[in-house]
């Protein structure tokens, strides 16, 4: 069972770094960049900081997924996907899928190009849209995290 405990520790630390980074980008970085006067400074600053965080996010989402599925496997808890009281497992999986698709597929193939194109034309609108999307992802992530912590400690909001 020591591997299970190690997996849980890695899982929790990876989630903290991943979602904490999303919170920092959403609540600090994007608002600060939106206040910059120069369009060039906005783009340069965002690309520099976000580029560094993108690597962290890719590593932490990978670790989160690997450890999460390992724990489900070790517990043989796949049937929890069939029980609505474990909605938070569904939510964790969905959040992980969304972020993984964004980080590994959409961002490198589509989003980076689209953002760069629109950010040069209308940075205010580009950062506003990106900010809204980050807020949606952050709120969903925080609800999921709260549900996962409560649910993994036996507190089910629904009987």
Q: Which pLDDT score, from 0 to 100, does residue 81 have?
A: 96
In 3D, which of 51, 59, 65 has the Cα closest to residue 7?
Answer: 65
Q: Check if the beta carbon of residue 84 is closer than 8 Å to that of residue 158.
A: yes
The number of CA neighbours under 13 Å toward the Cβ of 44 is 6
Tens-of-pLDDT digits for all 159 residues of the chain? 699 999 999 999 999 999 999 999 999 999 999 998 888 888 889 888 888 899 999 999 999 999 999 999 999 999 999 998 899 999 999 999 999 999 999 999 998 888 888 888 888 888 899 999 999 999 999 999 999 999 888 886 666
Note whether 94 and 141 are within 8 A (CB): no
Q: Which two tokens stand for residue 63?
A: 């670790």
């Amino acid at each position: 069972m020591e591997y299970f405990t190690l997996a849980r520790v890695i899982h929790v630390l990876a989630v903290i770094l991943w979602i904490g980074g999303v919170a920092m980008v959403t609540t600090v970085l994007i608002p600060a960049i939106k206040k910059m006067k120069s369009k060039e400074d906005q783009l340069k600053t965002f690309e520099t900081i976000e580029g560094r965080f993108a690597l962290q996010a890719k590593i932490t989402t990978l670790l989160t997924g690997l450890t999460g599925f390992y724990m489900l496997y070790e517990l043989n808890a796949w049937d929890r996907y069939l029980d609505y009281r474990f909605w938070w497992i569904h939510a964790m999986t969905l959040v992980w899928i969304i972020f993984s698709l964004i980080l590994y597929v959409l961002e490198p193939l589509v989003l980076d190009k689209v953002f760069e194109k629109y950010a040069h034309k209308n940075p205010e609108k580009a950062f506003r849209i990106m900010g809204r999307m980050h807020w949606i992802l952050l709120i969903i992530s925080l609800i999921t995290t709260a549900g996962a912590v409560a649910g993994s400690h036996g507190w089910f909001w629904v009987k």
